[in-house]
Chains A and B, each alone.
Chain A
Amino acid sequence: DQQVKQNSPSLSVQEGRISILNCDYTNSMFDYFLWYKKYPAEGPTFLISISSIKDKNEDGRFTVFLNKSAKHLSLHIVPSQPGDSAVYFCAARGGLRGSTLGRLYFGRGTQLTVWP
């Protein structure tokens, strides 16, 4: 049973435009959400995160929005650049209790392609 879902396997955006990557989750106990970026032949690298007590976090061109009532988060990239082309993984951290202590749950990833 997948607790973190990225329903769009791919997204294609023109350079300069906004890229919006979406992520849904099922477990209301998740307390922290992260986005990772992965280039081919490399491991995922941390991009941006947000605590469950916030609804927005911004870092340069990257903004993550969290809608707890909808159990939905999104990553906005503005403006998109060709170098942003990569697979983006959404991850959620299990709450600080029990067997899910600190564990990250990942989605399947979304392949973003930014074309000139």
Chain B
Amino acid sequence: ETGVTQTPRHLVMGMTNKKSLKCEQHLGHNAMYWYKQSAKKPLELMFVYNFKEQTENNSVPSRFSPECPNSSHLFLHLHTLQPEDSALYLCASSQDPTLNYGYTFGSGTRLTVV
């Protein structure tokens, strides 16, 4: 356990379904991130939240909707996804983007869209 917990670990959903991914950290970190990892591609930053405020949306389609109710929890709401959205979705947190700390990642949610 890294201190960042993601649920579920695996998710299979149809293109018309609505589902949510959950991320939780109790490390006292101020920033939380959603990353997408597709096969043979670099980690793609999707969203950044700093002190619960979204500070970056990296041109992500609206079928992905993030929510950060507090600095410990981060959600990614999914609806009408496409098969190409199948990927490993990683949540990460960091104490302060301005400090020399890297990110702490969760184990990810393996999403398959059928």
- Looking at the assembled complex, report how far the CB atom of B51 sits from the nearest CB atom of chain A, in whole angstroms: 13
- Would you list which residues of chain A between 33 and 48 have a CB under 8 Å from chain B? 34, 36, 41-46
**Chain B residues near A (Cβ < 8 Å):** 2, 4, 6, 9, 31, 40-43, 45, 48, 56, 90, 92, 94, 96-100, 102-108, 110
Closest to B45 in A: A103
Cα separation A102 to B103 with both chains bound (whole Å): 10
A-B contact count (CB 8 A): 60
- Give the total of A residues in contact with B, Cβ under 8 Å: 26
Q: Which of B9, B42, B96, B98 contacts A106 (CB 8 A)?
A: B42
Do B2 and A102 touch across chains, with their CB atoms under 8 A apart? Answer: no
Whether the Cβ atoms of B4 and A43 lie closer than 8 Å is: yes
Known contacts A36-B105, A106-B43, A108-B42; 19 additional CB pairs below 8 A are: A9-B40, A41-B107, A41-B108, A42-B107, A43-B4, A43-B6, A43-B107, A44-B105, A49-B100, A49-B102, A99-B56, A101-B98, A102-B97, A102-B98, A102-B99, A103-B97, A104-B45, A107-B42, A108-B40
Interface centre among A42, A51, A102, A103 (most CB of B within 10 A): A102
Interface centre among A4, A45, A103 (most CB of B within 10 A): A103
Bound complex: CA of A109 vs CA of B94, how far in Å? Answer: 21
A91 to chain B: which residues have CB within 8 Å?
Answer: 102
CB distance from B87 to the nearest CB of A (A): 13
CB-CB contacts below 8 Å: A78-116 with B: 89, 91, 96, 99, 101-104, 106-109
